[in-house]
Amino acid sequence: MKQSPITLSQTPAFQPDSAPKHHPDDATLLSYASGSLSAGSRMLLQCHLACCEHCRQRVAEAEAVGGGLLDGLPQASMNTGVDDIFAKLDLLDSDPISQSEELPVKRPDWLPEWAEPIAKWLETDQNWQRLAPGISQIKLDQPEFCQDKAVRLLKISPGTCMPSHGHNGSELTLILSGSYCDETGRLCAGDVADLDPDIKHQPIADRDQDCICLIVTDAPLKFDGWIPKLMQPFFGL
Amino acid sequence: MEKVQSASQNWNQALTDVGVNRNREKFAALYQHFAPRVKTYLLRFGLSDAKAEELAQEALLQVWRKAEQYHASKAAASTWIFCIARNLFIDQQRSGRGKLEQSTDSYHEHEGLLNHHEQAGEDDNSWQNSKKHIEDALKELPLMQAQLVYKSYYQGKSHSEIAADLEIPIGSVKSGLRLAFKKLRMSLATDSLTGGESL
């Protein structure tokens, strides 16, 4: 199994065209550092962190809080003493680290380099599935994402207007390419929208190119109006 | 262990020495200090004693194996070890039978444990000072915020799980964590836990 990087501050930076301007909430960065995000949200954060120095710094701070908390914990009684451990060290040292390197994953053209963590979940010939006029999706519903309500990639044609919606839970959106505008501003590649449940928004894809984003929700979206409501089971969002 | 200005920097040095010289004496000291704490950390997530022991050992073995990658200028030893333990827990969760049995105990049930000066004092007095910062900062948080931090770091609960647990809106979970993080960050900025790097 591939080891997660020990500290994210070591992650190489892949820059999108400009540094992201919309960041995850500090509460979300803290939960990332504490290891308490669902697998889908964690993957989304990994992508953003790979291209965002600002958030890598924040995560490092939240990890330092974790280190401080670890220091302050009471000691559990250990059944294994230092001598047993030395025996294991001898064993380890005589056995060179077996690198269970994962094969490099082929990244589709539309997926930026910093979004590499998504690539391994995409089947090689995975096709976009049409959802509604101007909107298609790829659903990531592997068992690893069982804690997430929905993990999906959406491709929105230029100028398409998404239905206005609020949320029961939290919704994280990462822009992979293209851009969209909503009530909170203009979001471009690398940006994350981390919306509180009380915020309603209506994203409109910019006109120049497709907008591809990764959306992770942990509770159903609430659509306004009867037509989007009818579409809700269909969207499955 | 001799008393010096900062115990935290002592551990940073110890871990650096393990990386540079494969210093077993220093590793033994790190093991004795951190393994029982990593085990407590893992027990809080609801792992069995045997599993927590196994993973705590695995964590410290990784410390031995990866010590060369450690840079005291980037993170405190405790932070680096915390990340190893956290990643092991995440991998365990991923490969294991999905979600572990959820613990629903709360911060104040463990509050006594967090204020364990007499226990901590037994093994090493020089630890008091550097630990005090984060403990004090945690104690100064309003109970609800401390509770949120506790559930996030020690129970691995997501925002929506915490919201359901405490029967409060998700927005309150996020704003509470935000405020708590701000205060804890400030307490760390003046502390050596960040390995002396200015934040």
Q: Pick from A181, A175, A201: which is nearest to A52 by CA?
A: A175
Q: Is the residue at B116 inside a domain? A: yes
Residue B195 lies in a domain: yes
Contact B158 A147 (CB under 8 A): yes
Q: Of A38 and A166, which is predicted with more confidence?
A: A38
% of residues, chain B, pLDDT over 90: 55
Q: What is chain B's mean pLDDT, rounded?
A: 79
Q: Are B85 and B115 in a shared domain?
A: no
User: How far apart are the C-alpha atoms of A151 and A172, rounded to whole Å?
Assistant: 10
Shortest CA distance to B192 belongs to which of B132, B135, B130?
B130
Whether the model pTM is above 0.90: no
Query: Hey, what are B4's tokens?
Result: 């010096």
3-state class of A165 per DSSP?
A: strand
Nearest-angstrom CA–CA distance, B18 and B32: 14
- For residue B28, the chain A residues in CB contact (below 8 A) are 82, 85-86
pLDDT higher than 50, residue B62? yes
Residue B9 is which amino acid? Q
A129-132/A192-195 β-pairing: unpaired
pLDDT of residue B137: 85
Q: What pLDDT score was predicted for residue B12?
A: 94
The predicted-structure confidence for B91-145, as pLDDT tens digits, reads as follows: 888 776 444 444 555 554 444 334 433 333 334 433 334 456 777 888 899 999 9
Contacts with B154 from chain A: Cβ below 8 Å: 69
**Are B45 and B94 members of one domain?**
yes
Where along chain A do its domains lie?
125-235
User: Which residues of chain B neighbour A10 with C-beta distances below 8 Å?
Assistant: 69, 74
Q: Which residues pair with A13 in a beta bridge?
A: none
Give me the residue label for tokens 């004693």. B49
Residue of A nearest to B112 (CA): A74
DSSP B99: S
Residue type, B166: L
Kindly state whether residue B126 falls inside one of the protein's structural domains. yes
B178 and B144 within one domain: yes
| pLDDT greater at residue A121 or residue B104 | A121
Is B164 found in the same domain as B88?
no
Residue A99's pLDDT is: 58
Interface contacts (A, B; CB < 8 Å): 221
For A197, the closest of B74, B151, B171 (CB atoms) is: B171
Answer whether B163's CB lies under 8 Å from B170's CB: yes
Q: Confidence class of residue A154 from pLDDT cuts 50, 70 and 90?
A: very high
Q: Indicate if the pLDDT at residue A41 is higher than 60.
A: yes
Residues in a beta bridge with A155: A136, A212
Average per-residue pLDDT in chain A?
Answer: 83
CB contact under 8 A, B159 and A26: no
**CA–CA dist B95, B99 (Å, integer):** 10
- Structural domain ending residue among the three candidates B69, B101, B133: B101
Query: What total of structural domains would you count in chain B?
Result: 2
The residue-averaged pLDDT of B181-191 equals 82
Q: How far is A60 from chain B (nearest CA, A)?
A: 8
Q: What pLDDT, on a 0 to 100 scale, did the predictor assign at position A30?
A: 97
What pLDDT, on the 0 to 100 scale, is given for residue A82? 81
In angstroms, rounded to a whole number, what is the distance separating the alpha carbons of residues A32 and B119? 30
The answer on pLDDT for B148 being more than 60 is yes
CATH number at residue B175: 1.10.10.10
Average pLDDT over residues A85-112: 76
pLDDT at B167: 92
Judgement on whether residues B14 and B87 belong to the same structural domain of the protein: yes
Alpha-carbon distance B11 to B38, whole Å? 15
Query: B108 with B196, same domain?
Result: yes
Of A35, A39, A196, Cβ closest to residue B89 = A35
Q: Which of A37, A72, A82 sits opposite B158 (nearest CB)?
A: A37
Same domain, B119 and B35: no
Which one of B84, B119, B159, B188 would you mutate to disrupt binding with A, by most A Cβ within 10 Å of its Cβ?
Answer: B159
Same domain, B44 and B130: no
Tell me, yes or no, whether B97 and B112 share the same domain: no
How high is the pLDDT of residue A223? 57
Domain extent, residue B134, equals 104-199
Test B153 with A34 for CB contact under 8 angstroms.
yes
Q: Which of B8, B160, B176 sits opposite A219 (nearest CB)?
A: B160
| Chain B interface disruption, residue of A3, A4, A6, A59, most B CBs within 10 A | A6
Q: Give the least confident one: A193-207, A211-225, B62-76.
A: A211-225
Query: For B73-91, how does the pLDDT look when each residue is reduced to its tens digit (9 = 90+)?
Result: 989 999 999 999 999 999 8
C-alpha to C-alpha distance for A64 and A62, rounded to whole angstroms:
5
CA distance, residue B1 to nearest chain A CA (Å): 17
Which element (helix H / strand E) includes B164? Answer: helix B159-166
Interface predicted TM-score of the whole assembly (ipTM), two decimals: 0.82
pLDDT grade, residue A106 (50/70/90)? confident
Q: Could you tell me which chain A residue has the CA closest to the CA of B174? A: A27
How does pLDDT run across A127-139, given as a tens digit for each residue? 899 988 899 999 9
Q: Would you state the pLDDT for residue A11?
A: 47
* Subunit contact A68:B52, Cβ cutoff 8 A: no
Residues of chain A found within 8 Å of residue B27, distances taken between Cβ atoms: 89
Q: Which residue of A has its CA nearest to B11?
A: A71
CA separation (Å) from B28 to B23, B32, B95, B129, B193?
A: 9, 6, 30, 22, 21
A48 touches A54 (CB < 8 A) = no
**Residue scoring higher pLDDT (A1 or B168):** B168
Domain at A125-235, CATH class: mainly beta
pLDDT number for residue B187: 82
Q: Supply the pLDDT for residue B150.
A: 93
In a domain, B3, yes or no: no
Query: What is the model's pLDDT at position A236?
Result: 53
Nearest CA in chain B to A69: B134
Pair of tokens at residue B8: 């935290």
Same domain, B148 and B93: no
Q: Is residue B1 part of a domain?
A: no
CATH of the domain at B62: 1.10.1740.10
